[in-house]
Each structure stands twice: as structure tokens, then as C-alpha cells.
Structure 1
Amino acid sequence: MTRTTVRIAMNGVTGRMGHHQHLVRSLLALRAQGGLDLGDGTVIWPEPVLVGRSEHKVRALAERHGLEHWSDNLDAVLADDTIAVYFDAQITAARTDAVKKAIAAGKHVYVEKPTATDLAGALELARLADAAGVKHGVVQDKLFLPGLRKLRRLVDGGFFGRILSVRGEFGYWVFEGDWQQAQRPSWNYRTEDGGGIAADMFPHWEYVLHELFGPVRSVQARVTTHIPHRWDESGTPYEATADDAAYGIFELDGGIIAQINSSWAVRVHRDELVEFQVDGTEGSAVAGLRRCRAQHRAGTPKPVWNPDIPDNTAAGSFREQWQEVPDNADFDNAFKVQWELFLRHVVRDEPWRWDLLAGARGVQLAELGLRSSKEGRRLPVPELTR
């Protein structure tokens, strides 16, 4: 057995997402299983080097997980020739400059989304990475969730016939921070720090729609700040300058219409925190994080509007008339699955399509969504090229 060590500078892993999903549930999970077995006697062994601005926090995190290598000096880490990959999970406003430094240092880069605060910055990163000849990738984790992987199976199998529409609901109530602590960091609600739900979630919706149903060709959106006053991590009140809800209509290739509501000011009355309903001429499906249920044309009930009697009492509730789509596979953590693919891309040059240009498409959609809301009109989404 040959072990190939890949040293990875991980910046921003003292934050919730970077710590739990990328460090613990991805790279440390890979180490716990003995590395990434390529199936030919070669094992990729990821070696995290933790990076952060706070010496105390990054050192404590390294000690907590028994990791030997950490630093609060990004420049020194990037100057280390043994570091092959730079990963960034910082706040968006800090990401662009750090990724530029990593590209200039010749590191392969793998970053959280959004890749930049604006389209110009996102495209610049993609072009710099191409010019430097480094491999580059963007986290697009929702593609690897069990629910969406089962939905993809239905799409690829032709289950829907001609797809007509997609309806998405995402969100939950994020506490204001006064009487209960907020579940999200306060920077998410400040535009000046790169916050806002459109900037955060429209990049997700772009790659979900693009990969499963087709490119987005136009967007019409309305964003708003439902909760204007919040309290930060220290209990200090502040004004929320960023949007906490975004309502979007997207037109895709083939005339497919997608409607997706995103909100941090909504109470959940659905089975999962995000759900997509896809309707087609031959069938429909509802997919969430883990589950996917489908209803074929032949099994579709025939409701008749009559508000004077309970709906569908003879055949049971409408929900009961949908069929569960089986797993038919073991689904690993979505972030870990994409990390495995990126490491294989770095070591073996295996195919990879979720690059910084794909990340720029997400930034573009968010930027156009915000502009659409401001101008009150539908906007075309130009195709990006290298």
C-alpha cells in the first residue's frame, strides 16, 4: 500500500461550518477510515494544517483534535512548499485576498461559496487560477445530499417526462439574539461584512438548478430585511443591514420555471429545512436533504375543489399518496464526498467540473437577484465564459 500525503492549509475552520463539516466530518473522518483508498493500492492521506487569525482559537482547535500543525500566519503557511492545497471557509469579505495569495503561491485552491463579494472578484479568481495552472474547486455540497442524489436519479431516468416547474422552500427562524442566542453569526446580517441571504443562498440555487435542470437564463427577485434589529454574539444590539429573506423566480433552459423562497424569518412547517418540488408531464417528486418522494402520472389522484367536505378522506391524506424513493446506495456526508472527489482530482487529475468559474455563476446570480429587487424588473443571466 502506497500512501500519498496531501498537506492542506485550512483557513477559517474555527467557524461552525469549517469546523464541523470540512474538518471533522470530512478530512478527520477520512483519516479515521485510514485515508482515501483509490482502489489500486494507493491511499490519499489528508494532513490538515489549521490556519486562523486568532492564535488562541486555532491552537485550541488543533489540540482538541490532536493535530500537530497550525498557524496564525497565513503568509508563512503559503510559503511552505510542502502545502499542496489551500482551503478557505472564512467570511466572504476576507476570502478573495487570501485565495489570491494562495494562487500566487502555486497552491491548488478549494473554497466555500460565495467565492467573492461580487462577480468581478469571482471571475478574477477563476482567471488567476487558470493562468497559474493550479487546480481549483468550489464547495457545492447540496448536489451530494441523499435527497438530491435520489432526485437526480429520477431526472436521469426520465421519470418526469418534460419538466415544467421547480418549487423550492428553504429556511428557518434565526433567533434575534436577545432572549435566545442566534444560530447564525451576526456578520450574516451586515451587508458591509458580506452578509445577506441572497448572497449566501442564490449561489446554492444556481448550481442545484444548473446541474439538475439546466442553466438559469433570467431572474426576478424580491429581497427584504424582515427583522431589522438583532443582537450580536456579545449581546450588543445592531442594525441588520443585509437581507434576511429572498423570493426568486428563475427561468431555465427549455422554459422550466423555478420559484425558490429563502428566509431566516420563517417557521418550519415542512418535513426538512429545504425541499424542492419538481413537476413534470409524467410525474412529480419532492426532495429534501435526505428524503425523496415521488408520484407518477398513473398514481396521481383527482382532487375536486369542494371546501364543504374534508379533502381526500376516502383515499387518505395527499401526502400518503406519494411513494418513497429508495436509497439504493449508502450516502456519506455530502461535504466529505466532494472532498474525496477534489483530492482525487488533485492527485490523479480525475474529472472535476465544480471550479471557480462555476462558483462565479453563483455570485453572478446573487448579484443579479439583488439588482432585480432594487430595480423591480426581470433580468437576463448572461452566460459566463473563460
Structure 2
Amino acid sequence: MTSIDVRIAMNGVTGRMGHRQHLVRSVLALREEGGIRLADGTTLRPEPVLVGRDGARLRELAERYGLAHWSTDLDAVLADPSVTVYFDAQATCAREEALRKAIAAGKHVYCEKPTAADHAGALALARLARDAGVRHGVVQDKLFLPGVRGLRRLLDDGFFGRVLSVRGEFGYWVFEGDRQPAQRPSWNYRAQDGGGITGDMFPHWEYLLRELFGPVRSVQAHMATHIPRRWDEKGVPYEATADDAAYGIFELEGGAVAQFNSSWAVRVHRDELLELQVDGTEGSAVAGLRGCRVQHRTDTPRPVWDPDVPCTEDFRGQWRQVPDGEACGNAFKAQWELFLRHAVAGEPWRWDLFAGARGVRLAELARRSSAEGRRLPVPRDAPRELP
């Protein structure tokens, strides 16, 4: 049996997401499972090369997981011909330059979103990768979550009839950092460092809406900085210049309307940190990260508005759980496997840097909509830039 070592330069693994989801639960997990088996019997063995600015933290991670290679010299790693894939989970402000270097070095590139600080930069990266002939991808992990996969099955089966609306609720309370440590890095709340919930989450909403219900054709948004003062990792107060909440209404191709509330200044009163409610002519569903519940037209109750008497209906109890249709592992790991199959063997793949650019564009239009106080159209993509 043939085995191929796929050396992956992983930049940004000292951060929470890069460490937990991408390094440990994806790349190392795939390696521990024995690698990825291709149709011809070849096994791909992912081998991470840790890259970053903090040598001490990289060394500690390498020792913890028994990894032989780490470096603070990105240029040297990219010059190594044995490294075939570059992955980036750095802060957004550092990503575009590093991706350009990796593409110029002929590496296949895979990265977190947003792919760049603005749409022009994101689109330029996608075109650069296309013209260089390297394979490229962007993380779109929400598509691989069990709850979202449940929604996909319902849509494929025609459960909803005509989809009328989608309502998304995402967020949780991120502590300010004075009395309790913040759960997110301080750069997330500084616009000058690429922070803001609009740039972080609207790319997610773009691909979820596109893949499940259709492309976004217009956006109207309002951004807010609800918590103007926070404390950084050293306990030093700073002014929060980035948005910590964003409220968006999206018109979709076909006429359905979607609305998303995204906030790091909200206390959770729902089953999961992300919930999507889909309402259609024949049925409705509420999906979270893990579960999905439905109510068909034939099971829909007939509530009567009467504010003068207590409500006795158990509305939540009137929905039924959708059985798990397939075993779902870690969403990041599932997409990593697909990308490595694509990068090495050319297997089908559609979540490329052009998809990443569409997410950046939606966030950019949302910021402009908020600043100008009006609804904005979302342009259609050029045919060569669609997957």
C-alpha cells in the first residue's frame, strides 16, 4: 500500500481556533486515524509544520504533540519544496500577505475566513491562486455541522414546500475582561486590527444562505458597538472600535427573506449558540449546531391571541426531533479531509477562495449599508469565478 506524507505549513496554531479545531481535532486527528485513504488505495498522511511568531509557544505545542518541525521563519518554510500545503488561521490583518507569499511559492492554500480585510483584496487573492494553478480553499465549517446537515436533508426532500423565511440567532456574552477574563482575543474588538463581528460572522451567513436557500441579492444591516470599553489579555483597558453586534436582513434569490442577529453582547436563552429557524408553506424547522427539530403543516397548532389569560400550550413540545441521518464527526475535520483529497488527488471541491471573497463582499456591503442607512444590492458573480 502506497503512503504519501502531505506536509502542511500551519500558521496561526497558537490561537484558540487554530490550535483546537485545526491542529488537534482535524490534522492530528486524521493522522492518528492512519491518514486519508484514496480510491486507488493510496493513503495520505498529514504532517503539520507549525509556523508563527512566538517561538516559545510553537516549541511547547510541538513538544506536547510530538511534532518534529516548527519555525518562526515563514519564508524559509515556504521555500521548502517538501511542504505542499499552506494553511492560515492568523489574525485577519496578517492573512492576505501570507497567502500571497504561499501562492507565489506554488503551495496549495487553505485558510480561515475572512480571507482578506476587504473584497478587493479577497478577490485579488482568488484570482492570483487561480492564475497560479494552485488549489485553494476557505474554511466553511458550518456546512458540516449535524444540525445544518439535517436542514439539508429536509430541503432535498421538499419538506418545507416553498421557503418563506430564515431567521438566525447567533452569539453569547463575551466578558469585558475586567472582572472576568474575556473568551475571545482583544483584537476582535479593534477595527484597526481587523476585528468586528460583521467581518467574522457575515461570511458564514453568506455561504449558509447560498448553499441552503440561494444567493443573497440584497442586504440591509445595522452594526453596533454595545460595549465600548474592554480590557486586553494583560488587564489593560482599551477602546473597543469594532462592532460587537450586527443585525442583518437579506433578500434571497427566489424571494425568501433571511434575518440574522449576531452579537457578542447577548445572554443565551436558546438551546445552542447558533439556531436557524426555517419557515415554509408546508413545514418549519429549527436547527442548531447539533440538533434539528421540525413541525409539519399537518402538526401545526392553531394558537389564538388572548393576552388576558395564561398560555397553556407547550409550543416547544409540539416539535419533533429529526433523527440523525448519518454519523457526523468534527465539522472542521470533515472539510480538512475533503480539501486534502482535492489538493493531492484533485477530487471535487467548491469552497474555494472565490467563495471566501463572496463572504468578505457581504460583510463589506453590510458595513456600508449600516453607514449609509439603506438597503444595498449584492452583485452577481462572473461565470469564471463561480465554483
Name the structure 2 match of 1:287: 287
SS of residue in 1 equivalent to 2:327: coil
| Structure 1 spans left out of the alignment, 5+ residues | none
- Rounded to whole Å, the distance in 2 between the matches of 1:14 and 1:266 is 27
Q: Which amino acid aligns with 1:339?
A: W
Name the structure 1 match of 2:170: 170
- Rounded to whole Å, the distance in 2 between the matches of 1:170 and 1:272 is 9
SS of residue in 1 equivalent to 2:238: strand
Matches within 5 A, 1:98-117: 98-117=98-117
TM-score normalized by the length of structure 1: 0.98
- Rounded to whole Å, the distance in 1 between the matches of 2:316 and 2:38 is 42
Q: Are 1:338 and 2:329 an aligned pair?
A: no
Name the structure 2 match of 1:311: 311
- Rounded to whole Å, the distance in 1 between the matches of 2:47 and 2:230 is 39
Matches within 5 A, 1:139-150: 139-150=139-150
Name the structure 2 match of 1:357: 354
- Rounded to whole Å, the distance in 2 between the matches of 1:305 and 1:54 is 60
Name the structure 2 match of 1:194: 194
Q: What does the per-residue CA deviation read over 1:2-53, in whole Å, with 9 as the maximum and x for residues that have no partner?
A: 2111110000000000000000000110111111122542211000000011
SS of residue in 2 equivalent to 1:329: coil
Indicate conservation of the 8 Å contact 1:221/1:247, yes or no: yes
Indicate conservation of the 8 Å contact 1:36/1:45, yes or no: yes
Q: What does the per-residue CA deviation read over 1:83-122, in whole Å, with 9 as the maximum and x for residues that have no partner?
A: 0000000000000000000000000000000000000100
Q: Which amino acid aligns with 2:373?
A: G
Q: Are 1:238 and 2:238 an aligned pair?
A: yes
Name the structure 2 match of 1:296: 296
- How far does residue 311 in structure 1 lie from its aligned partner after superposition? 2.1
- Rounded to whole Å, the distance in 2 between the matches of 1:140 and 1:173 is 24
Report how many aligned residue pairs link the two structures. Answer: 383
Name the structure 1 match of 2:344: 347
Indicate conservation of the 8 Å contact 1:312/1:318, yes or no: no
Q: Which amino acid aligns with 1:66?
A: G
Of 325, 329, 332 in structure 2, the residue corresponding to residue 328 of structure 1 is 325
- Rounded to whole Å, the distance in 2 between the matches of 1:175 and 1:106 is 42
* Structure 1 residue ranges, 4+ long, deviating more than 6 angstroms after superposition: none
Q: What does the per-residue CA deviation read over 1:169-209, in whole Å, with 9 as the maximum and x for residues that have no partner?
A: 00000000000000000000000000000010000000000
| Structure 2 spans left out of the alignment, 5+ residues | none
Aligned-pair identity in percent equals 75
- Rounded to whole Å, the distance in 1 between the matches of 2:80 and 2:310 is 69
- Rounded to whole Å, the distance in 1 between the matches of 2:333 and 2:153 is 20
Question: Does 58-67 or 177-186 show the bigger shift?
Answer: 58-67
Matches within 5 A, 1:73-112: 73-112=73-112
Indicate conservation of the 8 Å contact 1:293/1:324, yes or no: yes
- Rounded to whole Å, the distance in 2 between the matches of 1:252 and 1:4 is 43
Name the structure 2 match of 1:212: 212
- Rounded to whole Å, the distance in 1 between the matches of 2:329 and 2:42 is 21
SS of residue in 2 equivalent to 1:254: coil
Name the structure 2 match of 1:25: 25
Q: Are 1:373 and 2:365 an aligned pair?
A: no
- Rounded to whole Å, the distance in 1 between the matches of 2:274 and 2:51 is 32
Q: Are 1:136 and 2:136 an aligned pair?
A: yes
Name the structure 1 match of 2:9: 9
Q: What does the per-residue CA deviation read over 1:208-247, in whole Å, with 9 as the maximum and x for residues that have no partner?
A: 0000000000000000100000000000000000000000
- Rounded to whole Å, the distance in 1 between the matches of 2:95 and 2:325 is 38
- Rounded to whole Å, the distance in 2 between the matches of 1:279 and 1:158 is 12
Indicate conservation of the 8 Å contact 1:140/1:207, yes or no: yes
- Rounded to whole Å, the distance in 2 between the matches of 1:36 and 1:311 is 54
